[in-house]
Structure formats: structure tokens, C-alpha cells
């Protein structure tokens, strides 16, 4: 079991559930889970999340809120300069939760993923 880099190290499941409570972070992680793994160059953020923010500032809420949180817990590696994201060193700790969500997506209320 991993020790969370921030937050309560005695409850890593709670930490991951909190991180997954945001629809934006859930969608980003689920999309990253669908990729073929940890490409060295990563994936462009806009390819993973689309242009859900204002066109003049795409990805703003990801850059200031979501990506720092996910990176702090080791779930992603974020190259700020290149604008890319790839799986982080603690990816395998959250992968079973992502798999569970995806497997049961049809049983969840519509629009929850």
C-alpha cells in the first residue's frame, strides 16, 4: 500500500475517493486509463479533457486545481512546459478504482462519469 504524498497517509482509499469526487479529475483519469500506458512524451492535456474551458484559456481549471492535486499524490506526471500528462508513479494504486467505475458505468446515475 502506498503512503499518500499529501493528506491522511492512514487512509489512502479515502484520499483516492476524494480525488475521484471531482468529475473533471475522474474524466481525466478515466481517459488516461484508456490510453496504452505511460508514453514517455505523455499526452496533451487538451487531447485528454477536450476544450471544456473558455477557448481563450483552455485547461485553466486543470492547470490551477486538478493537475497539481493529482501530481501531488503521484497519480500523474505533469510536464507544465510541454503541456502533457502521463501516468505517475502511484498510478497502480488508483487503477482498480478506475476499473471499477468504468466496469459499472451503466449502473451509475447518468452523467456521473
- Flag whether 31 is in a domain: yes
Q: Does 71 reside within a domain? A: yes
Residue 21 included in any domain = yes
Per-residue pLDDT of 12-33, as tens digits, reads: 889 999 999 998 899 899 999 9
Please answer whether residues 49 and 62 qualify as being in contact, where contact means their C-beta atoms are separated by less than 8 angstroms: yes
Residue 4 domain-assigned (yes or no): no
CA 72 – CA 31 distance, rounded (Å):
19
Contact at 8 Å (CB) between 39 and 85? no
- The whole model's pTM is what? 0.79
Contact 26, 20 (CB under 8 A): yes
Query: What is the predicted pLDDT for the residue at 106?
Result: 85
Q: What is the pLDDT of residues 36-92, one digit of tens each?
A: 766 677 888 888 877 555 454 557 788 889 999 999 999 999 999 988 999 999 999
As for how many domains the chain has, the answer is: 1
- Whichever domain contains 38, its CATH number is 1.10.10
**Other CB atoms within 10 A of residue 107 CB:** 7
Query: 18 lies in which domain range?
Result: 12-105
> With bands split at pLDDT 50, 70 and 90, how would you rate the model's confidence at 111?
low
Looking at residue 40, its pLDDT comes to 73
Q: Tell whether 48 is covered by a domain.
A: yes
Specify if 7 maps to a domain.
no
Short-list 61, 89, 64, 85, CA closest to 75:
89
Evaluate whether residue 43 is within a structural domain: yes
Q: Tell me if 110 is assigned to some domain.
A: no
**Region at 30 (left for phi over 0; alpha for psi -120 to 50; beta for the rest):** alpha
Higher local confidence (pLDDT), 110 or 3: 110
Amino acid at each position: 500500500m502506498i503512503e499518500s504524498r499529501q493528506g491522511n497517509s492512514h487512509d489512502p482509499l479515502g484520499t483516492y475517493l476524494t480525488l475521484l469526487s471531482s468529475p473533471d479529475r475522474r474524466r481525466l483519469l478515466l481517459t488516461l486509463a484508456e490510453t496504452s500506458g505511460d508514453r514517455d512524451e505523455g499526452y496533451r492535456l487538451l487531447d485528454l479533457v477536450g476544450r471544456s474551458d473558455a477557448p481563450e484559456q483552455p485547461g485553466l481549471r486543470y492547470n490551477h486545481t486538478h493537475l497539481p492535486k493529482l501530481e501531488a499524490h503521484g497519480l500523474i506526471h505533469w510536464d507544465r512546459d510541454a503541456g502533457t500528462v502521463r501516468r505517475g508513479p502511484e498510478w497502480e494504486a488508483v487503477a482498480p478504482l478506475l476499473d471499477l467505475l468504468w466496469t459499472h458505468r451503466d449502473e451509475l446515475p447518468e452523467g456521473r462519469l
